[in-house]
Structure 1
């Protein structure tokens, strides 16, 4: 293996940590966090997700997600409802306050993506997205 600064897991973690730290600091004054944003973004994409699906979508462990959703419910950002198709299952829905917060965070998230992709041609940005998705899928092998 070559030097640390060319080791892929190190580079991914370093880039992700830099983005997460700065983004988290910007979320604090809004009463939000990176994890809250992940949940809101996932629900904006598909409202009414079950906790298991939301855990997979957000990469937040179910036990951590349950505590996070408890906090978000107290802040009136989300509401739990019984799934109409399965009375045992609980689905999560964004409230009006959650939608307002999402609208405030979207431009910040878009700015972070713009900064992160500065100097990338559109085709390079798409190739990077595709490569990172494939890399993430490849890592599922470690869970087997």
Structure 2
């Protein structure tokens, strides 16, 4: 067996909470990315764009980049892919022909609504969050963790906006 003198192996019950959060996030992200790809042909970034546009009408490239927490240059490739997939369209602004607005197509709106329905699924992820009292504590912890790691309020995260849209 290899020498593990500098690193002591522990089980997950001994890992600090912050590290458990990272590990859980990685596992959830991997599973979520697979669901998005298999069911919708989307990436997480593509989903964020659809949810940010849902219920808002057409947005400028800069507005959408801010809502999705990406640089405008990064957003260009995401929008290109969504446009090729028929989910998003670029529209010339009616008052300023130089300006371009991004909007959901009919198919994009249907996909966004399907995503929202899936996100709102009330089925608990674990036996712990099946308990409403424990679920509330977990929710408060996660919202505070998100807020402490971002420059904006947790309520401004696009996926939360998508959940609140109807």
Fold conserved between structures, TM > 0.5: yes
Give unmatched runs, 5+ long, in structure 2: 1-13, 153-166
Given the alignment of the two structures, is residue 136 of structure 1 paired with residue 131 of structure 2, yes or no? no
- In terms of fraction of residues, the more helix-rich structure is 1
Question: In structure 2, what is the Cα distance between the partners aligned to 1:129 and 1:79?
Answer: 34
What's the offset of the Cα at 1:89? 2.6
5 Å-filtered alignment, 1:22-41, equals 22-29=31-38, 30-41=40-51
Between 101-110 and 11-20, report the one with greater CA deviation: 11-20
Q: Residue 77 of structure 2: SS of its match in structure 1?
A: helix
The structure-2 alpha-carbon separation of the partners of 1:11 and 1:64, relative to structure 1 and needing over 3 Å to count, comes to farther
Q: RMSD in angstroms over aligned alpha carbons?
A: 3.1
Normalised to the residue count of structure 1, the TM-score between the two structures is 0.73
Paired residue total: 136
The structure-2 alpha-carbon separation of the partners of 1:93 and 1:120, relative to structure 1 and needing over 3 Å to count, comes to same
The structure-2 alpha-carbon separation of the partners of 1:93 and 1:50, relative to structure 1 and needing over 3 Å to count, comes to same
Aligned to 1:95: 105
Question: In structure 2, what is the Cα distance between the partners aligned to 1:86 and 1:114?
Answer: 48
Between 59-68 and 72-81, report the one with greater CA deviation: 59-68
Given the alignment of the two structures, is residue 54 of structure 1 paired with residue 67 of structure 2, yes or no? no
What's the offset of the Cα at 1:45? 3.9
Within the candidate set 70, 75, 81, 2:85 is matched to 75
The structure-2 alpha-carbon separation of the partners of 1:25 and 1:130, relative to structure 1 and needing over 3 Å to count, comes to closer
What's the offset of the Cα at 1:123? 4.5
Give unmatched runs, 5+ long, in structure 1: 140-144
- In terms of fraction of residues, the more strand-rich structure is 1
What's the offset of the Cα at 1:58? 1.3
Q: Which of the two has higher C-alpha Rg?
A: 2
